[in-house]
Structure 1
C-alpha cells in the first residue's frame, strides 16, 4: 500500500522521505516488506499522502496486521524501532521445466494481464482460466509464467493442486483448499474457522492488502474455484482445468491447443539433445505427429529415447507405428497418456461415457449434432447438450461451429473404450442408425437437387431418421459438399462391414455432388466400393445402377475406355432384365462416352436408338437427354444446324417441365452453337439467359460454362475486355470446383491451369 500510494502521488522515495520526515532508507525497507512500521511512522506517511479518512484507516489497519504474532525482537531502522513483519510470504511455485518450449502468444497474453493490473481499481483481482485437454501443458505454462512474474507479487506466490483430475485422488473440496491456503499465509490451525463460508471470509481478509500470485491447478469446475478467489489489491489468479469454465465470473478464458509442428520438434529435440536426432528430420517430424503434437505425449516419447542409448529416432518411430495399441507406447514410469485421458473419461457420468465411446464409430473426421443424434439415438437437443459437455471436458474439439472432432490420440483412446465398455449389440445398432441416417439424408438432398432424375428406392418402413429438410437447391448442395468426405467414409464403412444395401445406394445418392464437383477426390474409389456391395448382394439391378455411375467417375478421371466398358456391362444387364428405360439410359451415357472418344458418328446411332425408346414410352426427360447428347455429337461432326435443332428440342422439353437445372445448361449449349454459326446477338442472349438460370439454380459448373461461352461470343464480336471479364469469372468458379475445364478457360486468358 505504501508503494502504491507513493507512485500514485508521483513521489520518489527521496521525495516521500522529505515530505514525511522519515528517512529514505526506512521507506525503502518498509516497501520491501521486510519490516512492519511503528504507528508514528504510519501517521506521518498518511499525512504526507494527504489521505482521506477511509484511506488513512486502511493504511493504519495494514500496518497493524500481525502485531503481536511474532516473537522476533524489535529492531531499529535509522534510530526508530520497527516491528518484524508477522505475515508469512509464501513461495510455493513448483519447479519450472527448463525445456519449456513455444507458447509465446499465450505467455505474452498472461504477462499482459499482470501488466494491465496497474491501471485497474485497487480491489480488482485478475483471473485467467487456462483450459485444455489432458497433457496439453496447462500447468507447465502456468508455472513458467508465474516464475517470470514472481517479482511483481512481493506478498507471495501460492500454488494449490485441486486434484480435479488426478489418478487415485479425490478432488480437493473448497473447505480443505482454503485451509491449505490460510496455513500458507501464516494462519495457525487454531485460527482457521470450521465452515467453508467463514474460511472464505478469513481468506479474503488475509489477502485484503496483499498482492499475491495464486495458481489453482487442476480444478474440476468453477464451483470448486469460486470460494478460493481472493479480494486483495492487484492479485493475479491463474486457474488450470481440463474443463472450460464459462461459469467463473470475471475470468479471462485461455484455451490451450496442442503445439505447432515446429514447436513440437523443438521440444522433443531439447529433451533428448540435438545430437540424438541429428540427421533424422523426417523421422522427428513423424514422431511428433504420431504423438498428436501433444506435449505430454512428446515428453514421454522423448524421455524413452533419451534413456535408451541403443535406440535411434528410426527405432522409436517404428515402435510408435507398430503398436497394436499406440497409447501403451506413450507411457513411462508414473506418466501415461492413457491414464491422463482416463481421468477425463471417468469424470463423465456412466451414460456420457458410453455415448462418448460410441462417437468413435463415426467414420469421418468431423461430425455434426444431427449425425451424432442418429448415432446415439438421442433427440438433437440432447445430443447437442452432450457434445457441449464433451467439448467442455476437452474430449472433443469444435474447429468449426457445430462440427466436432477428436484429437488423434483421444480418438485412439475412444476406440479402446468402445471395444471394452460398449457391447457389440450397441455398437452394431449405433452403426446401423448412423449409416442409414446418412443414406436417407443424402437421398433427400439429391431429390431437391435433381427431382426429375431416377432415384433409388429407400425402405420407408425405417423409423424417422430425423432426416434434414433442405428448403432449396443451395441448402442441399451445401450439405452434400460439406458432408462429402463423411459420405465417402460412410459408404466405405457400409461395404466393409457388410451393410451392402447402404454400400451401393449411398454412392448413387451422391451423383449430384459428383456432377457438380467432377474431380471430387475419392469418387472412383467410392463407386468401385459400391460395385463390390452390389455384386455381393447378387442384385443385377443394383449392379447396373452402380456400373452407370462408375462410368461417370471414370469419365471424370479421363478413363474413357473403362467408362465405356462399365456401360456395356450395364446395358447387357438391363437387356437381360428387360428394362427398356434402363437400356435407353445406358445408351445415352454410352453415346456421350463415344463422343469423348472421338467416335461421334457411332454415338449418333446409339443416341437415336435411345431417343426412339423414350419417345415410345413417353419419357420426356429421357427424350431431352437424348436430344442434348445428339446435339453435342452433331456439333462435333460439324452438323451445326442439326445440332441446333436437337438443343432447341431439348430446351422445349425442359421448359415444359420447368426443370431449371437443365434449362440453364441447354441455353448454354444453344449459345455455343449460335456462336459457331456467327449468330452473335442470339448467342449473347442465350448465354446471358443461361448464366442467370444456372446462377439462380445454384448450378455453378454450368454457370461457369455459360460465362465461358458468353466470353467467346463477346470475343467474336470484338469486345475483348468484356470477354476476359467473363472468362476470369468462369475460371475462378471452375478452379474452385476443381474442374479440368479450368485449363481451357485459363488458356483463353493466358493463365496456366
Structure 2
C-alpha cells in the first residue's frame, strides 16, 4: 500500500487510509530527520544528535539502529518508501507524491512558472494548493534542536510562497479577500516588511486608509525597538503614496469572465406567483447601487409547491441585470437514488461551469471555496442553488461579491442561513390553480366544464405539481370529461395513484421528503393521519404517538421546518390534504390496525379528560362530571373557563370527528364517546354548538343502542334531545328524551336522569304544556336533590322560575325560585354561566313588575361579565333585554342600538329564532320613532 508522509504540520505517517502510530519521541525524531533530508544519506551521528541534543548515552548509536529497525517494520507494507543503510548512515527514499513537503516544492515551482508566463490566476491557484498542504508549523510539537535550522528553512519557504501569492492576488484586484490573512501574518511576522507593505496596500484599496497608515506606524516602531533600524525605502515610499492618495495605488479592474449561461429553460406555462416574484425582486439593490454583502434569496416550501420553477423563472427575469453569469446546480437533497451533493463536488461543478480547468481546482474544499469566491469577484452573476439540504451545505457555496444574487430552494426552512431573505411558498390561489390547469389541459375543455375545473384543482390541494399532473392526464385522454377526472380524484384512497404520470408523481415527491425523517418523526407523521381533523395541537400529537409532550413539540416543529406540516396559528398544526392522504397510505402499510385503534383511543381519553376539566370549571359541584368514564389521561389543565372554552372551539373538528369514528367502529369504546358529548354540554350552551353536535350525538345514540350499552345510549339521547330543543325541533327532541328516560331506567343510569327529566320539562313547556312541565320539573328537582347534584338542582330551580315568568305568566311567583337558585350558586362554586342566566331572569321579572331601573342594573352587570368571559350567548341575551328595558322607558334610539348589537351576535351563533324576536321588536320601535308613541307596554320574550 502507498503511504503518505507529512511534515508540514505535526509529523504524521498514513498508509491504507489509516494513520500509523509513532510511539515515543525517539522514533519521531529519527523519522523527522530522515524526511527532512529525504533521498539523501543522513549520517548516524546526526540521528544521534537529533535524539539526544546533549550528552548522548554510550549506547546511543546502537539504540538509533534499533529505532531505525523499528521504523522499517512500521513501514514494511508501504510501497512508496524504502529505508536503507548507506555508508555511515541511512537514507529514506520516498515516492514523488508521498511527502507533503516535496509536493509543496513542486507546486510552488509550477506557480512561479505560471506567474512568469503571465498566467496570474492559474499561478494563484497553484500557490493556494501548495499553501493548503500546511497544517500548522513544520513538525509542530516535536522538540528537536538539531533539526531547527531545517525547520526554520521550511517556514521561510512557506512565508515566501505566501508573499508571492498575495502579490499576485493584489494584482488581480482581490484586496478584500486577503486582508484577514495578511493581518494574521503581519502579527506572526512583525519584522517582515513585504507582508506589512502588502497589508497596507490591501487596506488602502479597501478604503481603510487610516488602518493602512497604522500598520506602517506599528512596523516602524517594532523595527526601531528590535533592530534599531528604519523601514526600507520601498515601504517608506508606499507610506508616502498612501498619504498622498497616489492614483497609482488603485486596484486594477477585475478580469471579466466570459458570459456563462447554465439556467434550465424557463417554464413555458408558468402561472401566478406575481406577489412572490415581486417580493423576491423588490428588495434587490437598485441598478448601480453598491452593497457590501452578497444578495441571498431563500425559497422554501413543501414538495411540488413550485420552488424550482419560481427560482428559475426569477433568474430568467433578471438576466439583463446579472449579465456575466447565470449558474444552476441541483444539490440533490431530495432526489431519487442520489445522496445530497457534497460541498466539494458542488464547488468543483460550479468552478468548471465558470471555465476553471480541472487541474486548477484545489482538492481541499476550503481552498475551492476561496477560488470560487475569487472567480466571481466583481461579476454580475445570478446563481440558483436548487434542492438544498441545509444551510451547512449551502454556506460554503455563497460568493462574496455584492454584485451577485443567489437564489436557494429547499424543502426545509433555512432559518440559520445568515443574511438571507426567506420566502415560504404556499399553494396557489384557486384562480391561479384553475388558470394553470386550463393552460395545460386546453382552453376548450376547461371552458366546457368550469365548475369541474375548480373541483379538480381543489382535489389537487391547489398544489402546482398535482395540478400539472392532473391536467397532463386529461390532455392525453380525449375521452375523459373533467367530471370523470374529478370523480377519480374524489376517491381518497386512489387519489395519489391518479396524480402520477410519466416521471412525475406526487407520492414519489412526498416520499423523498419522508425518507429523510428520523424513525420517531416518521412514526408521528404517519399516525397523525389517524386523527380525524387536519388541525391539531402538540397535546393531541403526544397522545397519538404516546410520547412526552416536549418530544412531540420538537418533532412537530421539525416537520414544520420540512414543510410536511403547516401552521395557521400559534401552537396549531395541520396537514395539507394530499400530505394527509399520503400519511394515511403510509400508516395503513406500516402500522397495524391495533396501533391505529390504540392511537385513537388515547386521543379519545385525552379529549374526555380535558373536556371534563372544562365542564368542572363551568358546572362546579355537578356530580355528573364524576360519573363520566375514567381515563388514563389527566387531560389539559385550564386557568379559567375562557381558556377551556377556547380549547374546545379549537379542537372541535377533532372532537366531533373522533366521536363519529368511535360510533362507526365497534372496537372503540362507545361509552367514552357518549361521555365526551356530555362533557361538551356547558360549552354547547356558551357557544351554541348544538348544530354541530346533534349529528354526532345521533350516531353515538344509535351505535350504543346497537351494541346494547344502555347507559351510553341514555347519555347520548340526553345530548341529542337537548340539542334538538335548542334548535327548535321540539317533537324530535321529545322523542329522543323519552327514549333516553326509558333506557336510563332500564340500564340503571341514575347520573343522567335528572338532566333528562329537566329537558323533558323544557320540551313540554315549548309545546305549551306548562302544568305537565311543572310536574316533570318537580321530578327532576327531586332526582337532583336525591343524588346530591346541586348544580343540576340549581338549573331546575331557574327553569321553574322561568316557567312561572313566561309560561304560567305569574312573574311575582318566579322571583323566589330565581332567588333560591342564586343562593345555591356559591354552594356549587360560583358557576358564572348559571349566575348570569339567573341574573338576567331576575332582571326580566323586575322589568315585568315595573322596576325597570333595577332590571337595567342586572342586565348591565351580566353584559359586562359575559364580555369579560367571552360568553356570546349571554352577551346577546343581555343586549336583547337592555333593548326591551330602554324601549319600556321610551329611550327608543338606545333600544335600537342594543337591538342591533344583539342581532349581530344571534346571527353569528345561528340563533334564527332569537334573531327574529329582536328584529320584530326593532320594527315596532322604528314605527314608534316615525309616528306617535303609544302608551308603554311590557314586552317580554
Does 2:758 correspond to 1:588?
Answer: yes
Does 2:767 correspond to 1:597?
Answer: yes
Aligned-residue Cα RMSD (Å) equals 2.6
Q: What is the 5 A alignment of 1:59-98?
A: 60-63=251-254, 65=255, 87-98=257-268
Does 2:333 correspond to 1:179?
Answer: no
Does 2:297 correspond to 1:128?
Answer: yes
Q: What is the 5 A alignment of 1:34-113?
A: 54=206, 60-63=251-254, 65=255, 87-113=257-283
Give deviations 1:123-155, integer Å, cap 9, x for gaps. Answer: 421101000111111111111111110011121
Give deviations 1:251-284, integer Å, cap 9, x for gaps. Answer: 1000111111110111111112212222210111
Q: 1:663 to 1:54 in 2, by over 3 A?
A: closer
- Aligned residue for 2:883? 711
Measured in 1, the distance between the counterparts of 2:749 and 2:285 equals 79
Does 2:400 correspond to 1:231?
Answer: yes
Mapped contact 1:125–1:234 kept (Cα < 8 A): yes
Does 2:737 correspond to 1:567?
Answer: yes
Measured in 2, the distance between the counterparts of 1:651 and 1:189 equals 90
Give deviations 1:314-357, integer Å, cap 9, x for gaps. Answer: 33223323474211111111111111111001111223212211
Q: 1:457 to 1:531 in 2, by over 3 A?
A: farther
Measured in 1, the distance between the counterparts of 2:737 and 2:614 equals 26
Mapped contact 1:503–1:533 kept (Cα < 8 A): no
Mapped contact 2:381–2:404 kept (Cα < 8 A): yes
- Aligned residue for 1:168? 337
Most deviating of 373-382 and 250-259:
373-382
Q: 1:344 to 1:236 in 2, by over 3 A?
A: same
How far apart are residue 743 of structure 1 and its match?
Answer: 2.9
Q: 2:422 aligns with which of 235, 253, 270?
A: 253
- Aligned residue for 1:399? 568
Mapped contact 1:661–1:697 kept (Cα < 8 A): no
Measured in 1, the distance between the counterparts of 2:488 and 2:537 equals 34
- Aligned residue for 1:195? 364
User: TM-score with structure 1 length normalisation?
Assistant: 0.85
Measured in 1, the distance between the counterparts of 2:716 and 2:736 equals 9
Mapped contact 2:690–2:724 kept (Cα < 8 A): no
- Aligned residue for 1:606? 776
Mapped contact 2:765–2:803 kept (Cα < 8 A): yes
Q: 1:374 to 1:118 in 2, by over 3 A?
A: farther
- Aligned residue for 2:116? none
Measured in 2, the distance between the counterparts of 1:374 and 1:110 equals 41
Mapped contact 2:684–2:690 kept (Cα < 8 A): yes
* Unpaired stretches in structure 1, ≥5 consecutive residues: 1-41, 44-50, 66-84
- Aligned residue for 2:678? 508
How far apart are residue 460 of structure 1 and its match?
Answer: 8.5
Does 2:806 correspond to 1:638?
Answer: no
- Aligned residue for 2:915? 742
Most deviating of 442-451 and 197-206:
442-451
Measured in 2, the distance between the counterparts of 1:106 and 1:58 equals 45
Mapped contact 1:219–1:241 kept (Cα < 8 A): yes
Mapped contact 1:137–1:296 kept (Cα < 8 A): yes
Mapped contact 2:340–2:389 kept (Cα < 8 A): yes
SS at match of 1:631: helix
Most deviating of 240-249 and 613-622:
613-622
- Aligned residue for 1:480? 648
Give deviations 1:48-90, integer Å, cap 9, x for gaps. Answer: xxx9755768974335x4xxxxxxxxxxxxxxxxxxx6x2321
- Aligned residue for 2:556? 387
Does 2:547 correspond to 1:374?
Answer: no
Q: 1:459 to 1:609 in 2, by over 3 A?
A: closer
Q: What is the 5 A alignment of 1:257-656?
A: 257-322=426-491, 324-457=493-626, 462-463=631-632, 465=633, 467-498=635-666, 499=668, 500-576=670-746, 583-612=753-782, 620-635=790-805, 636-656=807-827
Measured in 2, the distance between the counterparts of 1:58 and 1:160 equals 38
Give deviations 1:182-212, integer Å, cap 9, x for gaps. Answer: 1111110010000110100110111112121
Q: 1:466 to 1:588 in 2, by over 3 A?
A: closer
- Aligned residue for 2:72? none
Measured in 1, the distance between the counterparts of 2:249 and 2:683 equals 72
Mapped contact 1:455–1:509 kept (Cα < 8 A): no
Measured in 1, the distance between the counterparts of 2:834 and 2:492 equals 54
Q: 2:838 aligns with which of 662, 666, 679?
A: 666
Q: 1:655 to 1:728 in 2, by over 3 A?
A: farther
How far apart are residue 495 of structure 1 and its match?
Answer: 2.0
Give deviations 1:633-680, integer Å, cap 9, x for gaps. Answer: 222222222223322332233355434332221121121122122222
Most deviating of 644-653 and 194-203:
644-653
Most deviating of 737-746 and 554-563:
737-746
Mapped contact 1:647–1:666 kept (Cα < 8 A): yes
Q: 1:253 to 1:389 in 2, by over 3 A?
A: same
- Aligned residue for 2:81? none
Q: 2:391 aligns with which of 195, 217, 222?
A: 222
Most deviating of 399-408 and 706-715:
706-715
How far apart are residue 301 of structure 1 and its match?
Answer: 1.3
Measured in 1, the distance between the counterparts of 2:634 and 2:823 equals 38
User: TM-score with structure 2 length normalisation?
Assistant: 0.69
Mapped contact 1:666–1:690 kept (Cα < 8 A): no
How far apart are residue 708 of structure 1 and its match?
Answer: 1.6
